[in-house]
Amino acid sequence: MSIAGLEPFVYTAELSSFSQAAGRLGVSPAAVSKAIKKLEQDLGVRLFNRTSRHVSLTPEGEVYYAHASEALARLKTGRDLVTRAREEAQGTLRVSLPFVITTRVLSQLHRLAATVPKVDFELLASDRFTSLLAEGFDVALRIGELDDSSMVARRLGAMRWVTCASPSYLTRHGAPRHPDDLAGHECLQFVLPGGAPGRWMFRDGANEPRGWDVPSRFRMNLGTALIDGAVAGLGICHVFDHLVIEHLRDGRLVPILTDYAPPGPSLHALCAEGRQNTPRIRAFIDFCVGVFA
């Protein structure tokens, strides 16, 4: 049996009027009358006594109203709960992100966590390319050019290259004034996933960014390790600005070669088409905009 006539029936019973019930529901009186007639046919009883001026419940209608009003209240409560669940961020959020920005995200994540208490976070750091759909990720943060047009992408900002060293290192060795001067310094080199050392990016004489090959005795595959080495006075590091914001602020590291610093690659958040408005995904992406702005 259909319950489509439940609201028209209950409102008509409470207001003793088809037209007032119609006004409450935002439909025509004819639509209310039709819904109630269909309900009466389904039940096989007459629910209302009708006159040209008055509508009143029959004895059978009184019995049905006692239960229908309670049922309608329960249905409204259930509908409200489902709506809130749809609008409230909850569930497990799985995020894929590069190692190089993991520390930055984690340092700020408490702010988001406090606003979405029903969300659990599963962050997997990796420098390999991950497939959102195949590996079950809700969001992926990607640095550089995007090649997956099937995903919805939101630009979070741009990274910036920073070259820096500790005050103690600069006291001992002096500060290079040009990228070519790095040939006489200890450079802490990042090793790419394939094993090759990464080139350091600077602006050239034409003010265009290009890669420099720098000598290094110290090579590492973790950006945070490069920073730890630089803070310890081991040498000069060349990293994204988000990795060293606090180190530069408190003086543990000092920026050098700033006149040659080029812009870095863009940072994007990706999710599957149609999922960008899922509350927990939307909350996380909005949070990342603030972190990397």
DSSP annotation string for 138-152: SEEEEES----TTEE
Could you tell me the fold of the domain covering 6-87? Arc Repressor Mutant, subunit A (1.10.10)
Report the distance separating Cα 177 and Cα 171, nearest Å. Answer: 14
Q: At residue 111, does pLDDT exceed 70? A: yes
Q: Hey, is 206 helix, strand or coil?
A: coil
Distance CA 33, CA 75 (A): 22
Where in the chain are all domains bearing CATH 3.40.190.10?
A: 91-157+265-292, 159-264
Q: What percent of the chain has pLDDT over 90?
A: 48
Mean per-residue pLDDT, 99-108: 88
Model confidence pLDDT, tens digit, residues 182-204:
999 999 998 877 777 788 999 88
First to last CA, the chain: 56
Alpha-carbon dihedral sign for residues 149, 151, 153, 158: negative
Is it the case that residue 134 has pLDDT exceeding 50? yes
Specify the 3-state DSSP secondary structure of 239. Answer: strand
Query: Cα separation of 40 and 48, whole Å?
Result: 9
- How far is 212 from 88, CA to CA, in rounded Å? 49
Domain with CATH 1.10.10.10 in the chain: 6-87
Which residue type does 148 have? Answer: D
Yes or no: domain 91-157+265-292 corresponds to CATH 3.40.190.10: yes
CA distance 8 to 13: 8
| pLDDT band, very low/low/confident/very high, at 293 (cuts 50, 70, 90) | confident
For residue 272, pLDDT beyond 90: no
DSSP state of 235: -
User: How far is Cα 270 from Cα 276, in angstroms, rounded to an integer?
Assistant: 9
What dotted CATH number matches 159-264? 3.40.190.10
